[in-house]
Structure 1
Amino acid sequence: MRDFTDKVALVTGASTGIGEAIAQQLLARGAKVVITARNQQRLAAAAQRLDPTAEMLFPLMMDARDPQSVQRAVEQTQAHFGPLHLLVNNAGITGPRGVPLDQYPVEDWHGVIATDLSGTFYGMKYGLPAIVAAGGGAVVNLSAVNGVVGIAGIAPYTAAKHGIIGLTRAAALEFANSGVRINAVGPGYVDTPSMKALSAQVREKMAAAHPMGRMATCEEVAKTVVFLLSADSSFTTGAFYSIDGGYSAQ
């Protein structure tokens, strides 16, 4: 895979899990990376793990639910490292699990949609003009296997992830002649730190949901994202890549 020397990337929700793994892959290939999160302590810890020298990485507090916060993050990225070339909209929350739609708290619905779907919209609204001004680049939005199937008990999360795919495809068409490629990925269950905190029984059930019989690693998801950001996928835009071990093929 080609490297990202002289490229600047912004990865949201990158204080742990998939976001951190994406930042790590980009750094390993020479990119300068800005990572964002809402939790300052976790953000600082991730920055220390990823780049203790702070030469190639800049941690930035950002709230994906707040358009002004997202706009500031794009502006601060440019001020710190220069023109923005790559954007990964990874920030997201699942919300309450196992709750029927008619019993789902309205405030939690708004929280999931604001973080996952609106946060992705804000990222592209403010990030895309910056990437165009830099001469072009790529965007990857994190959907999920829930973006193409229905999963009971997490209706808002499922709706948001479906919406991200539609948003990705519409944006890809709008910017196809502007030098920016925009794609989405859909992981199944991923063996993130939060997953590792679950009971062995729950983890086994999640792993068994995939025909491959296991969960994805954060690195596996990150490598697909980095491929879509790279020039190796130069004729790919408006696409959705499943990273789900066969889950959505069932």
Structure 2
Amino acid sequence: MELKDKVAIITGASSGIGERTALLFAKEGAQLVLTDIDTEKGEKLVESIKNEGGKAVFLKADVSLPEASEETVKLAIKTFGKLDIAVNNAGISGAAAPVGEYDPQEWDKVVRINLSGVFYGMRYQIPAMLENGGGSIINVASILGSVGFAYSAAYVAAKHGVLGLTKTAALEYSAKGIRVNSTGPAFIKTPMIQDLDKDVLEQVVAKHAIGRLGKADEVAQLHLWLASQRSSFATGAYYPIDGGILHNKLLQPFVFVVASISKLLQYGCV
């Protein structure tokens, strides 16, 4: 049990990568504080973890609000006495539109959740970890944290910002015992991605050198490595888990109708 007696916060934990990360961490002995805006799914996940002998609590929290991150950390300390690990995973896709037509309100919403939400999380996670002698923070970015993608300005900008924020925090706190890293999932298979048109889905799969979509469990395994002592010398780094898509020179012409792009971001890419 690699995370035995460790206390972890996971945001956006009710489904997808957040859910699979929570289940794996619980299996490895972690005590969990899980947050999301979907209370029903979050509470069901906690119940499932407890039924398997794990320890977890759920808090409905909007990461775009700094007070929500503060409350989450306080709950971890109150319930489990410390904080060792944080996976800042919560995010949204936002609208799909060219830059010259992008709705400013939609821009603000995406940036508040996908970038400011990560900052707010670390703002309160770091002091708690310092009191505990250190920890590991994992910020979930995307392959779109390192490349551009048409019609997705807010999402791409926010995820690029997550990488910069991660590197800066690592420089500031690694010598104090807090490692900070980011992950870059590509398109991940979920039940909802089946809503995509067959031809669009085939194009998505074809862009991955490995010949298939990723699995949420595979991303969770990367998060486990970063949370554990096996990655004790890793900090300030960005870890794409992308099936080789970033090496595909045809990624940039990878453009569909606006509706399809929106679905891809919402269902297949964190």
Q: TM-score, normalised by structure 1?
A: 0.95
- Confirm or deny that 1:84 pairs with 2:72: no
Post-superposition CA distance 1:212-247 (Å, at most 9, x none) = 121110000010011011100101100000100111
- Confirm or deny that 1:5 pairs with 2:19: no
Match of 1:152 among 150, 155, 160: 150
Q: Secondary structure at the match of 2:3?
A: coil
Q: Aligned partners of 2:199 and 2:20: how far apart in 1?
A: 26
Q: Which residue of 1 aligns with 2:260?
A: none
Match of 1:184 among 170, 182, 185: 182
Cα distance change on mapping 1:241 and 1:55 into 2, 3 Å: closer
- Confirm or deny that 1:239 pairs with 2:250: no
- Is this contact kept in 2: 1:95–1:157, CA < 8 A? yes
Q: Which residue of 2 aligns with 1:133?
A: 131
Distance apart, 1:6 and its partner CA: 0.9
Which amino acid letter does the alignment assign opposite residue 235 of structure 1?
A: F
Q: Which residue of 2 aligns with 1:75?
A: 74
Distance apart, 1:172 and its partner CA: 0.2
- Is this contact kept in 1: 2:33–2:75, CA < 8 A? no
Cα distance change on mapping 1:7 and 1:64 into 2, 3 Å: same
Post-superposition CA distance 1:36-71 (Å, at most 9, x none) = 001212212322333337850111111100001110
Q: Secondary structure at the match of 2:79?
A: helix
Post-superposition CA distance 1:165-195 (Å, at most 9, x none) = 0000000000011111000000100112332
Q: Which residue of 1 aligns with 2:62?
A: 63
1:106-125 paired onto structure 2 within 5 Å: 106-125=104-123
Give the gaps of 5 or more residues in structure 1.
none
Q: Aligned partners of 1:196 and 1:59: how far apart in 2?
A: 29
- Is this contact kept in 1: 2:29–2:54, CA < 8 A? no
- Is this contact kept in 1: 2:26–2:54, CA < 8 A? no
Match of 2:216 among 215, 218, 222: 218
Q: Aligned partners of 2:191 and 2:115: how far apart in 1?
A: 23
Q: Aligned partners of 1:34 and 1:196: how far apart in 2?
A: 30
Q: Which residue of 2 aligns with 1:20?
A: 19
Q: TM-score, normalised by structure 2?
A: 0.88
Q: Which residue of 1 aligns with 2:163?
A: 165
Q: Which residue of 2 aligns with 1:95?
A: 94
Give the gaps of 5 or more residues in structure 2.
249-270
Cα distance change on mapping 1:211 and 1:55 into 2, 3 Å: closer
- Is this contact kept in 2: 1:139–1:182, CA < 8 A? yes
**Count of aligned residue pairs for this structure pair:** 248
- Is this contact kept in 2: 1:10–1:88, CA < 8 A? yes
Post-superposition CA distance 1:130-166 (Å, at most 9, x none) = 0111111100000100011111011110001101000
- Name the % identity: 39
- Is this contact kept in 2: 1:18–1:192, CA < 8 A? no
Q: Secondary structure at the match of 1:64?
A: coil
Mean Cα displacement is larger for which, 27-36 or 194-203?
194-203
Which amino acid letter does the alignment assign opposite residue 171 of structure 1?
A: A
- Is this contact kept in 2: 1:209–1:247, CA < 8 A? yes
